[in-house]
Structure 1
Amino acid sequence: MWRRREAALAALAAAWPAWSRAAEPGVSEREILIGQSAVLSGPLGLSLQMFNAGAALALADANARGGIGGRQVRLVSLDDELKPDQAQRNYRTLLQDPGVFAFFGGVGSGTIAAVTPLLRDTGVPLVGNFAVADSVRQKARGAAYFIRAGYGREAEKLVQHLSTLGVERLAVAHLDNPGGTEVLALVQQALKKRSGKDLLGAVAVGNDGSQLAQAVDTLARLDPQAVVMFLSGPPVAQLMEGLWAKGRSPSFYGMSTVAGEKVAATLGARLRGLAICQTVPYPWSGADPTARQFQQLCDAAKTPVSYTSYEGYLNALVLLEALRRCGKEPTRAGLHTVMRGFKGRVGGLDLDFSDDATGSRFVELVQVNAQGKFLR
């Protein structure tokens, strides 16, 4: 009897290390599985495809070097078309089959707001983001961790710059959605705080270009010195062309939602006076070692160097560093602990999550020329 019991205990002890390594969902002896639900199709999916291309470079490079604690890090992505209900279904699917360890690369205010209760209920962390409103970030605090600076920080940077230039007649063109309304309020708040003045006016534009003609007419009547654009896609260039056609030539300032290279491709030699907020450092830098490594990986993989692909790359580097800090046997609770106390410098971004849902405050303005090149 004693011999049989000792043999059983010995067998259990021998099996324990292997069992314990596979006990945490999404973690096996060979890999750590990460899930993503994001808009990956249609016009809105183009940016996220580039974001994911940059993230893939970081993951592939880390895996080629042995992964994290000997485990490969694998990303499984599902398309939610930026629809909150589909995002909820995707998150549940990823939790059940294949059963992911954590989530990465969340996109959109509506989708993140919709899945935040699920993140809290399950205790599964979400690391990284793209285009998420400040208010949604705060509601998701402790469940999700956002790397790029918030829209409030972008608004502060823009207003500071424009005030320095002596611009007093400032208007805003924003997306006709809750996020756009929030950004409008943030710009107004920053302007009031700095100068005590109000905006000259504001116009709302649908992401599909609806209400564009009315917006152009209104801005032409207001005749602002500068227009801050919280827009994306074709309406950016269309708004600029519309004002030029009416004899108005304000300076244009884009929030980070504006893809400068696409505007340049549309306008060509007509492009002038466009500056854009960027929330990650200059990806073409020859001095920064992280940027140089990124450029080399892009060259080898035939991936375009861009702010969007670099943002995906840096977001993935943060995730990888957090996984390393979790130790040999990562747990979801451990990843939360690491992220809540995460401080450090990753690729030129000074990150500190100890007092906020957002780690970075980095924002800089860059000019876009007719060739689609960004000039600092």
Structure 2
Amino acid sequence: MVRAFCLCWIFMVGLVSAAFCQDGIKSDEILIGQSCALSGPAQALGRGVKAGMDAYFAKINAEGGVNGKKIRLISKDDGYEPIQAIRNTRELLDQDRVFLLIGEVGTPTSEAVLPLVEKAKVPFFGPFTGAEFLRNPFRKYVINVRASYYQEMEKLAEYLVDKKGLKKIACFYQNDAYGLTGLNGIRLALEKRSLQLAATGSYERNTLAVKSSLLAIRKATPDAIVMTGTYQPCAEFIRTARKIGMKETIFCNISFVGTDALLKEVGDAGEGCIISQVVSFPWDDSIALVKEYHDALKNYAPDSAPGFVSMEGYMTAKLFCMILSGLKDISRENFIREIETVKTFDLGGIVAQFDTSDHQGMNSVFLTIIKDGAIKPLDL
């Protein structure tokens, strides 16, 4: 009888321990997971987001962690490919048993893993994408920090059409969920202004096969081309367009392009290119968070240069820790509840605002321009 009781007790303790570990909560640390592109043509995006998050976690851990628990980020390379993102996510949930997923990079990868996330009821926090399906319909376990691609496209249309008076707008896009979201976003923005796209062209993810689409778009003689792609193919498109005579065309990109990587790739051909942004200018040290970000990079990631992508990663990591710090009883459901209860989080001059039916923290979109070989704010 005693032996049976002991065996039962050991079994129950084992179940409790397994559940405890499965949530990624340990006595001295919290495990969180990330799948992102650390190799391949989009690696600058994944590495940038990870660098920003690593810098903040190193800072908070050096200060004693969050309520005495260190944060450990497990990052896995998916090469910006959906199938590998699914494999990574399964490993993170089933083998690493992370508390939540953070900083997923990309629309097609996010779309691929979303069913796994929702089935497991695991928070999907701060994905580096403005995809509409992560916002509409409302999804309880998805927590967006940044503004959406639709909002970015609206801002570009406001500048190109309302301010500049341009009428012939074309779109070059990546042929997947990311590119199609951007394509639909600019179409909607133009329809609000009783306009239609002058031309469209696409390329396949993780390739530089842009020439045929470029030639098709050139026939429409557009005033501006709005691009929904990553930095290498967009740079290839712009460089080639300049070479074949499209000197006066305005090229526009949205934030996911990777501004700093685009600047490096496109060279002199990038002069005048416009990029929409969803975080504040990373060199504006009048903002407390920006100054803090620079100090953290200097102290904990001296090999990382400041930029829009790592700034977003830093913000995402800080917001995660702010939410976590308010939990007396750490669980996934309590984490979501804390977001919806507190609602407003001041990151240091930059505020994220949530609600029970709104899991997008920020709505601001800013425009920047490549001028004299540097990224500068665009005065509207």
TM above 0.5, one fold? yes
Query: 1:36/1:266 Cα in 2 relative to 1: closer, same or farther (>3 Å)?
Result: closer
Q: Secondary structure at the match of 1:124?
A: coil
Query: 1:178/1:286 Cα in 2 relative to 1: closer, same or farther (>3 Å)?
Result: closer
2:277, 2:33 → 1: CA distance? Answer: 26
Query: 1:208/1:111 Cα in 2 relative to 1: closer, same or farther (>3 Å)?
Result: closer
CA drift at 1:307: 0.4
Instruction: Name the counterpart of 1:275.
Output: 274
Corresponding residue to 2:26 among 6, 25, 28: 28
Query: 1:139/1:38 Cα in 2 relative to 1: closer, same or farther (>3 Å)?
Result: farther
CA drift at 1:132: 5.0
Deviations 1:132-181 (A, max 9, x none): 52124435711221111110110111111112211111111111223212
CA drift at 1:199: 1.7
1:132, 1:57 → 2: CA distance? Answer: 23
Q: Secondary structure at the match of 1:373?
A: strand
Instruction: Name the counterpart of 1:206.
Output: 204
Instruction: Name the counterpart of 1:9.
Output: none
Matched, 1:373 2:371: no
Instruction: Name the counterpart of 1:7.
Output: none
- What's the TM-score once normalised by structure 2's chain length? 0.87
Instruction: Name the counterpart of 1:303.
Output: 304
The aligned runs of 1:69-80 (5 Å cut-off) are: 69-80=67-78
CA drift at 1:45: 2.0
Q: Write the letter of the residue equivalent to 2:249.
A: P
Query: 1:140/1:355 Cα in 2 relative to 1: closer, same or farther (>3 Å)?
Result: closer
Q: Secondary structure at the match of 1:179?
A: helix
The aligned runs of 1:235-314 (5 Å cut-off) are: 235-248=233-246, 249-300=248-299, 301-314=302-315
Q: Secondary structure at the match of 2:41?
A: helix
1:97, 1:241 → 2: CA distance? Answer: 45
Instruction: Name the counterpart of 1:318.
Output: 319
2:83, 2:267 → 1: CA distance? Answer: 39
2:111, 2:242 → 1: CA distance? Answer: 38
Query: 1:47/1:355 Cα in 2 relative to 1: closer, same or farther (>3 Å)?
Result: same
CA drift at 1:222: 1.1
The aligned runs of 1:1-376 (5 Å cut-off) are: 25-138=23-136, 141-162=139-160, 163-193=162-192, 195-209=193-207, 211-248=209-246, 249-300=248-299, 301-325=302-326, 327-341=327-341, 342-347=343-348, 348-376=350-378
CA drift at 1:201: 1.6
- Decide whether the 8 Å contact of 1:69 with 1:328 is kept in 2: no
Identical columns (%): 27
CA drift at 1:27: 1.1
1:105, 1:233 → 2: CA distance? Answer: 19
- Decide whether the 8 Å contact of 1:172 with 1:203 is kept in 2: yes
Deviations 1:78-129 (A, max 9, x none): 2223333333332232223332111111222233233223222322212111
Query: 1:178/1:87 Cα in 2 relative to 1: closer, same or farther (>3 Å)?
Result: closer
CA drift at 1:209: 4.6
Query: When the two structures are aligned, how many residues end up with a matched partner?
Result: 359
2:181, 2:372 → 1: CA distance? Answer: 31
1:132, 1:294 → 2: CA distance? Answer: 23
CA drift at 1:265: 2.8
Query: 1:23/1:306 Cα in 2 relative to 1: closer, same or farther (>3 Å)?
Result: closer
1:353, 1:79 → 2: CA distance? Answer: 32
1:176, 1:192 → 2: CA distance? Answer: 22
2:104, 2:267 → 1: CA distance? Answer: 33
Q: Write the letter of the residue equivalent to 2:267.
A: G
2:69, 2:52 → 1: CA distance? Answer: 20
Query: 1:161/1:359 Cα in 2 relative to 1: closer, same or farther (>3 Å)?
Result: same
- Decide whether the 8 Å contact of 1:24 with 1:331 is kept in 2: no
- Decide whether the 8 Å contact of 1:116 with 1:140 is kept in 2: no
- Decide whether the 8 Å contact of 2:41 with 2:206 is kept in 1: no
CA drift at 1:375: 3.5
Q: Write the letter of the residue equivalent to 1:331.
A: S
Deviations 1:44-79 (A, max 9, x none): 222111110110111111111121111111111122
Deviations 1:306-330 (A, max 9, x none): 00110100010111111112x2331
Which moves more between the two structures, 39-48 or 65-74?
39-48
Instruction: Name the counterpart of 2:9.
Output: none
Query: 1:75/1:262 Cα in 2 relative to 1: closer, same or farther (>3 Å)?
Result: closer
- Decide whether the 8 Å contact of 2:209 with 2:233 is kept in 1: no
2:218, 2:270 → 1: CA distance? Answer: 18
Query: 1:113/1:139 Cα in 2 relative to 1: closer, same or farther (>3 Å)?
Result: farther
Structure 2: runs of 5 or more not aligned: 1-12
Q: Write the letter of the residue equivalent to 1:268.
A: G
Q: Write the letter of the residue equivalent to 1:160.
A: E
- Decide whether the 8 Å contact of 2:128 with 2:256 is kept in 1: no
**CA RMSD after TM alignment:** 2.5
Structure 1: runs of 5 or more not aligned: 1-14
- What's the TM-score once normalised by structure 1's chain length? 0.87
Query: 1:110/1:62 Cα in 2 relative to 1: closer, same or farther (>3 Å)?
Result: same
Query: 1:355/1:169 Cα in 2 relative to 1: closer, same or farther (>3 Å)?
Result: same
CA drift at 1:214: 1.7
1:200, 1:356 → 2: CA distance? Answer: 34
1:94, 1:87 → 2: CA distance? Answer: 10
